[in-house]
A and B are shown apart, each in its own frame.
Chain A
Amino acid sequence: MMASMVPSGSRDGQPLVLKGVDPETCMIVFKNHWAQVVKILEKHDPLRSSSTLASLGAIGLGAGSSGASRFGPTIPGDEASAVQNYVEHMLLLLMEEESGQAGAMGPILEFVVMENVMERLFVWSLRREFTDDMKLEQLKMYEMLVGQSRQPLLHHKPVLRPLMMLLSSCSGTAAPAVEAQLVLLLHQLCCVLAKDPSILELFFHTSEDQGAANFLIFSLLIPFIHREGTVGQQARDALLLIMALSAENERVARHVAENTYFCPVLATGLSGLYSSLPTKLEVPSEEWHCLHKEEWLRLPSLVQFLNSLEFCNAVIQLTLEEVMTTTAYLDLFLRSVTEPALLQTFLSFILLHQHEGVYILDTLVSRINTPFQLGTVSLALFRTLISLYCEDVMLQLVLKYLIPCNHMMLSQRRVVRERDFYSASAAKILALTPSCCSPDRSPPPLRQLDSILFSKHGETAKNSSNTDEGSGFSEEGDGSGNSCTIGSEIYLDVSYLHYLYDARLSISSCIRACRVWSAPYDGESPPPEKYQPGVLEEPAADARQTLKRVPPLLGPPRPRPPGKEPPSIAQLELEWDDSFDACPVQAADAPVDPKPPQPPSSEPPKHIQEMMRSAIKVVKGSYIEESDFQDDVLVYDLIAQKDASEVEQTSDEPGGSPSDEAQPGSADVSLKNGLCLTLPTAVTADGGKNGLNAKVKGQTDCNGNLQSAVDSSDDLLSQYEELIRTLVGEAGGKQAITEGEARKSVTAATEEEEEEEEEEEMDFTSYTAETPEPEKPQSPFGSVQRFRSGSSKGSYAVPFTGPFMSVLLSRLENMLSNTLHVNLLLTGILAQLAAYPQPLLRSFLLNTNLVFQPTVRSLYQVLATVKNQIEELAACRKDFTEKITVAQHWLLAREASFITADRSSGGGSGQHEAGRILKNSPPPKPKDISLDQTDVFATVLFSEFLKELAAIAQEHSVLSHIPMEE
């Protein structure tokens, strides 16, 4: 048996107790032992004891003799075990040694370092046959040393170097026992690193000695992360420790991202992993929506981390609860990874990966609208996503739908970049404050009796405590009688100051963060004309991405036998694609051809089937089965439009009856389930030819593919088609009118801008109202634009601002029945979105003057709807105002407790949602109110949300226009 260097004493459960033994004695014993070991070592050292020839001969002999080592002559058993015994004792002594004064090395450690004990032992064992057993023993030895030593050992190169050599010699090992021990040691090392990151540098340096800037620990761990059982667990735990480290250490982060296989391994994912993960989380409370640190620390962390990835593949098979769990994991992952390259890997997976033809992202978006806690958890995930300030994410979620500017009247594009000089939007938003929440009606603790002294004259007034003085303040100043201040007797809502302050912080950090973005998204860059592709249509590069994954089917589509694979999504995408480089054959006529080739198909793709199923449910107005709402993204699209058209009809009601709207040939489109929608069929003149835009085209393509073969769903699909077509027709009809209305303001805007641009030599008389304004061309875009819009009318996409906005707004509309936490998340997300400086997004969310296409629902519209709901509620419930007061108090108390908790836990970046509630008022006595009264809480939240939005709008009017160059 080879020499084992592990002290058996500690393994037998009878550790030698050295306490009380005098350090000097220990040192003497250690030195003695080492002298004995060295004697044996040198005796068998070919370089020392014998000539090169002899050593060669010895090796030759050794090789000749059966079972001998390749490295050297066989060492007699008694000598080997003698070394083992000595080393055992020595290690024990080393382990037990306390460090010297002020962290100096203890004498034994110093000796170990000076004499290079560890390295010599390692080299010695290398010289002998380095079997798995040997490795095992050595790994155990280091594991023990690292884990139990009383003084830091890894700081010393003579200890670290042999350890690294050992580790690298183990890199290819296959024996499970060695692997287990290796991972255990690696985990141990990671723990040490996590505690003392200063060692990290040494690991890098030591690796460099070996010729490669390689973070060995990390590389060694990677192969184990998908393992089942404890090995995998430990490897993942260890990796998570390193990931945590990478958040602080740039070098580690860079290394992980650039020099290791971690990203690919991560991105690939392994389906086997999922089975070993916990599929259920204990949900602690109703409020729960994401994994907090305390929670996931209790769980094997990396499991979640990987689970989040796996979830993408396993998504369809999961039950509701599992989906929720994995979504929470996903959120956790996004929150814990900070290294951009890692995030890139992960985000690209979410944004670009498709499952059965549906983007993971879209699936996630659709979950927002699910009832139950899954919706809440999904909201939390998106809050995390949009707070990354990641252009790619924002592009996919919102911006790509806004770039074409189809959501607004053509004439309105200029307004996108306009500055709201006089807080008109803020005023309009605040005007939605329900009467029961008006600041004038707030109870004393909320209503600030202090007024903001807009001028500092308040001080004067206070000092003299004389109101005459106050009223005479306009005479102050230079005595010339110029009034320069305004009165401050109005009760100001002081809480609003906090919102302004928060808005300022939020916007300015957003502006800073977005400096790395590729474009300003201001309605000019990227140019709307260039990116007219509709919504469902996948633009060029996307198709290219797909092509990379799925080989394009360029040949004529072959009939598909029943029951076989659904049509390739890549193929469908190519049909909608108007890029010329991705696929020349089909792209040549793709953008104009209203009827692209329809590959015959006998069965709808699975996701379409799912879509139809969910659609029925959505149209019925409720979700029934928990697990059945996958792949309903496309349906949201339709629902959003249906909603929009309903809103429109409602708003038309006071003026004329809805039937006025109806065009000749109005037909009842009744859906299978009995729900009846009266929709004008309004087939416009060109409707038959190219009335369907790109987006709809995409949908009808799908539908068209199916129509012949699908019997049961044929009806429903055709109804959808009908629905879409009518929506298009309606939009087209209204466009003309509103465009005319909108033109006026644009003309004004044009002038303003032009005048702003004028320099030095301007004619001041032009500022007078009397001077007639020079006629401006009607369209600021010139004839080219008009021509374009005219000619491409058919391909003018149905205005749609994307499933994400649509889902958010539809949840917001139901604010009164949402739980408090859903509403907090929802308003938090919208406020965060509103803080983005990109004019497209900003104008869409906050500019109340922008004229949208009739089918586009704006945030303001939805807020107005909610306000009306609240007013109705307040009117018919006597105790409503009273309840609101109670809820306000409760929320304030909650807020106060958060602040306290935040402070006591040492601050940190708490959830900002709390900032929404008034901060400054004295904490009131919390009275009991049931959280079930969602409408009451929602009302309070609503009025606070209005302030938050208004504050953001106001800050934008200043911040987003400060020139950056200075």
Chain B
Amino acid sequence: MNLNPFWSMSANTSRKRSDEEQSGHTDQRASPARTHFSKKVLPPIPKNATPFTKPALMGPAAHTANGTHASYGPFYLEYSLLAEFTLVIKQKLPGIYVQPSYKSALMWFGVIFIRHGLYQDGVFKFTVYIPDNYPDGECPKLVFDIPVFHPLVDPVSGELDVRRAFTKWRRNHNHIWQVLMYARTVFYKINTTEPLNPEAAVLYEKDVQLFKSKVVDSVKLCNSHLFDQPKIDDPYAISFSPWNPAVHEEAKERMFTHKRRPEDHHKGTQVSGLSWVKPGSTQPFSKEDGPPQS
């Protein structure tokens, strides 16, 4: 049941705990340069693009924020999603990697590694769809690329039943990382009530052995498609490729050595503040005379 450990993924944005992943190697060649939190957030404005109209979706997104000018609605949405994304990074969810799509901030690509339990060694790719009236709409959807054999995963569409955990999506209260966390939890704690995949539910209840072997098959199937082209054509879609020392060795090296962000040492933007305040004091120049910190 061992997987080929030599694959790579192009999730360069949301890398977390890279050292944990015994064989996680970034492959950055496929990604367009969208620098990690250092560049403009919004996509570039195409020159002379003719605005096209699509009245159906106009309303909700534009008017969510306190009835302000519609012109700023998309900015609010984008920043809300960015804030969500930084929150995901902050959470350091074990074994979960996500990356917003290049085309839309409302679509996030992800992959989840299951490290133990029934679904051990499973590597499941998924996509998160966030409603365009976020955060006032429904809860985000999470759809696995390949429908995993699981009571809560739709055997046809691959959609995970997220809504049972978030019957009503509440702003300021619910966050996308919770959805991701939920997606991870379902593989460790099997729930069979009101299943989307009744077969899986029944098997789990009645014949765990058969259930287990079906899960093993499903995991095998998913992993056999690991190197397939991403289901959605997007520069930031997560794609895996077989281990190639020429490409991956260096990236791996960097992953294990590189601790600080390069921009910390970026010369051009080096700015230094001043402080002569002794820690614990609120008095200016309370520090003992010494070389000033800078």
Contacts and interface: CB of A to CB of B under 8 A. Distances in A.
Interface of A: 258, 340-341, 343-344, 347-348, 351-352, 388-393, 395-396, 399-400, 403, 419, 421-424, 426-428, 430-431, 433, 438-440, 449-459, 461-462, 465, 467, 469-471, 473-474, 477-478, 480, 482-494, 496-497, 500-501, 504, 508-510, 512-519, 526, 531, 539-542, 545, 748, 751-752, 755-756, 760, 762, 764-765, 767-770, 950, 954-955, 957-959, 961-963, 966
A518 B279 contact: yes
Chain A CB within 10 Å, residue with most, of B53, B76, B79, B94: B79
Interface string B158-195: 01000001111011111100100110010000000000
A752 B74 contact: no
Contacts of B45: 450, 452-453, 494, 497
Given A456-B102, A531-B282, A450 B274 contact: no
B178 A767 contact: yes
A478 B231 contact: yes
Contacts of B168: 768-770
Given A489-B55, A490-B70, A518-B275, A458 B49 contact: yes
Contacts of B94: 760
Contacts of A467: 52-54
Chain B CB within 10 Å, residue with most, of A419, A456, A958: A958
Nearest to A456: B103
Given A427-B65, A470-B52, A486 B274 contact: no
Given A489-B52, A489-B53, A392 B86 contact: no
A461 B52 contact: yes
B57 A768 contact: no
Interface stretch (B4-12, B111-119, B124-132, B201-209): B124-132
A962 B181 contact: no
A196 B45 CA distance: 47
B221 interface: no
A485 B172 contact: no
27 contacts: A341-B291, A344-B276, A391-B274, A391-B275, A396-B284, A421-B171, A426-B75, A431-B67, A450-B47, A450-B51, A455-B104, A461-B50, A462-B46, A470-B52, A486-B74, A489-B54, A490-B73, A493-B69, A516-B293, A518-B275, A531-B282, A541-B283, A748-B173, A769-B170, A958-B37, A958-B82, A962-B37
A392 B286 CA distance: 9
Chain B CB within 10 Å, residue with most, of A428, A431, A450, A492: A492
A933 to B, nearest CB: 26
Contacts of B182: 764
Contacts of B57: 474, 483, 486-487
B74 A519 contact: no
Given A392-B284, A439-B71, A452-B42, A423 B79 contact: yes
Given A421-B175, A496-B75, A514-B273, 17 more contacts: A392-B274, A395-B284, A421-B83, A422-B135, A450-B46, A450-B48, A483-B131, A485-B106, A490-B70, A491-B70, A494-B45, A512-B269, A518-B280, A519-B277, A769-B170, A958-B37, A958-B83
B33 interface: no
Contact of A767 (B56, B104, B166, B291): B166
Contacts of A540: 283
Nearest to A920: B45
A403 B174 CA distance: 31
A424 B84 CA distance: 15
A390 B103 contact: no
Contacts of A531: 282
Contacts of B107: 477, 484-485
Nearest to B278: A518
A399 B131 CA distance: 41
Given A484-B107, A526-B282, A764 B74 contact: no
A458 B52 contact: yes
Contact of A430 (B68, B102, B106, B271): B68
Given A482-B129, A487-B58, A958 B79 contact: yes
B43 to A, nearest CB: 6
A467 B52 CA distance: 6
Interface string B8-31: 000000000000000000000000
A46 to B, nearest CB: 49
A400 B69 contact: no
Given A419-B83, A490-B71, A768 B76 contact: no
Contact of B143 (A393, A424, A480): A480
Given A486-B57, A531-B282, A421 B84 contact: yes
Nearest to B130: A484
A145 B286 CA distance: 49
A8 to B, nearest CB: 51
Nearest to A454: B74
Given A340-B292, A470-B53, A457 B103 contact: yes
A497 B72 CA distance: 10
Contacts of A513: 271-273
B167 A768 contact: yes
Contacts of B275: 390-392, 516-518
A504 B80 contact: no
B292 A542 contact: no
Contacts of A500: 40-42, 75
Contacts of A954: 75-76, 79
A955 B37 CA distance: 11
Contacts of A508: 38, 269
Contacts of B293: 340, 516
A963 B74 contact: no
A449 B282 contact: no
B200 interface: no
Interface residues on B, range: 35 or more
Contacts of A490: 58, 62, 70-71, 73-74
Contacts of A966: 261
B141 interface: yes
Contacts of B261: 966
A767 B58 contact: no
A577 B116 CA distance: 62
B54 to A, nearest CB: 4
Contacts of A450: 45-49, 51
Contact of B274 (A390, A440, A488): A390
Contact of A961 (B40, B90, B106, B185): B90
Chain B CB within 10 Å, residue with most, of A391, A428, A430, A518: A518
A15 to B, nearest CB: 49
Contacts of A488: 51-52, 54, 74
Contacts of A516: 272-275, 293-294
A492 B278 contact: no
Chain A CB within 10 Å, residue with most, of B50, B127, B173, B275: B275
A526 B285 CA distance: 16
Given A392-B274, A454-B104, A500-B40, A423 B279 contact: no
Given A391-B276, A483-B132, A542-B283, A424 B271 contact: no
B217 to A, nearest CB: 23
Contact of A391 (B70, B73, B79, B273): B273
A456 B43 contact: yes
A962 B281 contact: no
B78 interface: yes
A484 B104 CA distance: 7
Contacts of A769: 167-168, 170
Contacts of A423: 65, 75-76, 79-80
A391 B287 CA distance: 12
Nearest to A458: B49
Nearest to B131: A483
A770 B104 CA distance: 32
B54 A471 contact: yes
A457 B89 CA distance: 27
A490 B51 CA distance: 8
Contacts of A512: 264, 269-273
A958 B143 contact: no
